[in-house]
Amino acid sequence: MCRIEGKKSKLSVMGFKTGALGDSRVEKLKSSMMSRSRMKLWMIRATTSILLWTCVVQLMTLGETWGPRVLKGWPSCFSQESAAAFVVNSSPEVPARVLPPKRVYKNNGYLMVSCNGGLNQMRSAICDMVAIARYLNVTLIVPELDKTSFWADPSEFQDIFDVDHFITSLRDEVRILRELPPRLKRRVELGMIYTMPPISWSDISYYHNQILPLIRKYKVVHLNRTDARLANNGQPMEIQKLRCRVNFGALKFTPQIEELGKKVIRLLRQKGPFMVLHLRYEMDMLAFSGCSQGCNKDEIDELTRMRYAYPWWKEKIINSDLKRRDGLCPLTPEETALTLRALDIDSSIQVYIAAGEIYGGRRRMASLSAAYPNLVRKETLLEPSDLMFFQNHSSQMAALDYLVSLESDIFVPTYDGNMAKVVEGHRRYLRYKKTILLDRKLLVDLIDQHTAGSLTWDEFSNAVKEAHTERMGNHTKRLVIPDRPKEEDYFYSNPWECLESSNEDETLSSSI
């Protein structure tokens, strides 16, 4: 404005008159110059905003793989996980959930895992993989569940487990994502990924020395078989405790499964105490084990054909009698009835059958039904509409049986498969609920002697009870067999490091 006013004074001195027209032009000139200044200022601000936004987006993208520790410690406004951490529950009736703080660490890469087997085999594998990811300081992608096994269950992780709870409850230990960041996901889709099965029963140093360098090199490593890949014993105490934390806390079933499980338990409790009998006598179990005790010729031929129909099952020719004498076969329904009676299990107790379809149907269940008439299954307790969404989803059905098994007054597995082992360990964790661990090798010998008439009923019953006095799921240290991990006690059947009394024992022993 000073420059314009100076110019006006100069014109007056030179003898020119600035009338109304001159004043109008000056005002237009002033207005034009001010508009241009505002336009430039607006353009500078817009350009600066775009540049800053671009920088933020680029930093976030780079931070997924190479972000510095300080950036990884900041909560992201753009992730569902971070949003969940700051949600305040507006309902006064339900207290807001307090989430553990995020663990800050330098991310060494990403670990993808594909679990194999049935529900409980995959469950224990997930616990192992979380512990491994935590120890290697990598980001774990939500595990993929087996869809190609014998059961052909199409369920995803989130169909069985509460995925949000899984991610947030472990956020102070390990970063877990539902899927890879977009750039790395594209690489995987193009086949640019390192895939391998880890060595079975390896200790944690194997993963540090062999797997971590691969993750650092390739950024993403995919472990495609994860069952029994972490050793039972000799692991750091924090690793063992984390395996328990995942198993007993982070792996919650979906609300739908939890609610239906509670309904089954409520229906059972209304009629008194109940026992869960994990009667592992389904067609696939008998075919693959080669155990055919009590089956007729047509059934034996059918089981044999099924075994040969699956090329991945290596053992084809099996001596059923020899396996049974070695205690490697599940007890038959007839043998189970004799055993329960010998143990003086009340015949009026409700017996919940946690299993699939029993091979041989009513004919094979006749003696068990006669001895324990209050036999029930989820299919008899629930309406068809309750189970409609669970049909053809064996893992979701198994999840229901798992929940009922945990809450039963007595749990009796007739074979030491994955469900029997994991439920046994979980019941130990729940203050040593009564779990009868049958000595099958001894039992079949006693049963044969009783059937042959060389043992009276009282002699048979006393021998069975005496043999199982210390096999009721009580507290004990795991059996360790160096160089033979398959034969030693399984970690998830007896996680003594995570039980309160084990810590008391250690304190007592150290003070002596």
Do the Cβ atoms of 457 and 506 come closer than 8 Å?
Answer: no
- Cα distance between residue 42 and residue 50, in whole Å: 12
Which residues neighbour 464 within 8 Å (Cβ) at sequence distance 6 or greater?
Answer: 339, 342, 343, 443, 446
SS3 readout for 40-66: HHHHHHHHHHHHHHHHHHHHHHHHHHH
For position 50, what pLDDT does the model report? Answer: 65
Helix/strand/coil for 370:
helix
Do the Cβ atoms of 355 and 347 come closer than 8 Å?
Answer: no
pLDDT, tens only, 82-127: 333 334 343 445 456 688 899 999 999 999 999 999 999 999 999 9
CB-CB neighbours of 440 under 10 Å: 21
For position 53, what pLDDT does the model report? Answer: 59
Helix/strand/coil for 184:
helix
For position 51, what pLDDT does the model report? Answer: 64
pLDDT, tens only, 183-230: 999 989 888 899 999 999 999 999 999 999 999 999 999 999 999 999
Give pTM, 2 decimals. 0.80
Low-confidence ranges of the chain (pLDDT < 50): 1-26, 28-29, 56-57, 60-92, 94, 502-512
